[in-house]
């Protein structure tokens, strides 16, 4: 299948699957939202600009897993302090990612693709690493099923670019199947010594 044709098919499959899952998982999303409200308070959702296709910014939406900074405080506490036990469980189960189905439906993201990182990383990428943005970012990706946050940044970007060059239906189905085992096994959720992962500071 030609790449251009598969890109169109991939978008159609994203829309159909996102609609189906949003309907089927709406009770679970409602329960999770209530739990976030009870354990962490408002806001229930975490919103942040992330780079999407061709680096264009979009608002990523997730369930909140960290305490907010105190009102009026200019000090940003480290993730290790702000991430709660409940938040760690949400991340380990990947339930915090469920609102991103809305991002998929809108066309900001795909089910499979390089994970959307931080806007501040864009100027730090090499020309080769920047190619990860030539496809829509994904809920899961080749790097996520091959180590996730246990990988070095260089290896993660290498895998992201490899996916861009080899994107296909069979590869996407393989990644989605392996995602389920990765989530169930709770592998690579955080980098050793960090609540999530060390910040990327350039190659």
* pLDDT tens string 44-80: 999 999 999 999 999 999 999 987 655 455 556 555 6
68 Cβ contact partners less than 8 Å away, ≥ 6 residues apart: 41, 43, 82
The pLDDT, as a whole number, for residue 157 is 96
Convert the pLDDT of each residue in 154-189 to its tens digit. 999 999 999 999 999 999 999 999 998 877 666 555
Q: What is the mean pLDDT of the chain?
A: 89
Share of the chain above pLDDT 90, in %: 70
Write out pLDDT tens, residues 82-105.
788 899 999 888 999 999 999 999
Total-model pTM = 0.88
CB atoms within 10 A of CB 127: 6
């Amino acid at each position: 299948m030609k790449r251009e044709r598969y890109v169109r098919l991939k978008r159609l499959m994203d829309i159909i699957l996102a609609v189906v899952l949003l309907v089927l998982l709406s009770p679970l999303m409602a329960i999770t939202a209530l739990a976030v409200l009870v354990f962490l308070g408002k806001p229930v959702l975490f919103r942040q600009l992330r780079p999407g296709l061709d680096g264009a910014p979009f608002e990523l939406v997730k369930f909140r897993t960290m305490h907010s900074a105190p009102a009026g405080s200019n000090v940003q506490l480290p993730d290790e302090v702000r991430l709660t036990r409940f938040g760690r469980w949400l991340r380990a189960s990947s339930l915090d990612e469920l609102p991103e189905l809305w991002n998929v439906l809108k066309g900001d993201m795909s089910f499979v693709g390089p994970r959307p990182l931080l806007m501040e990383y864009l100027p730090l990428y090499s020309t080769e690493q920047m190619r990860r943005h030539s496809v829509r970012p994904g809920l899961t990706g080749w790097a996520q099923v091959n180590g996730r946050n246990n990988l070095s940044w260089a290896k993660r970007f290498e895998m992201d670019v490899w996916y861009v060059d080899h994107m296909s239906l069979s590869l996407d189905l393989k990644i989605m199947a392996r995602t389920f085992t990765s989530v169930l096994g709770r592998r690579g959720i955080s980098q050793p010594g960090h609540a999530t992962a060390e910040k990327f500071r350039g190659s």
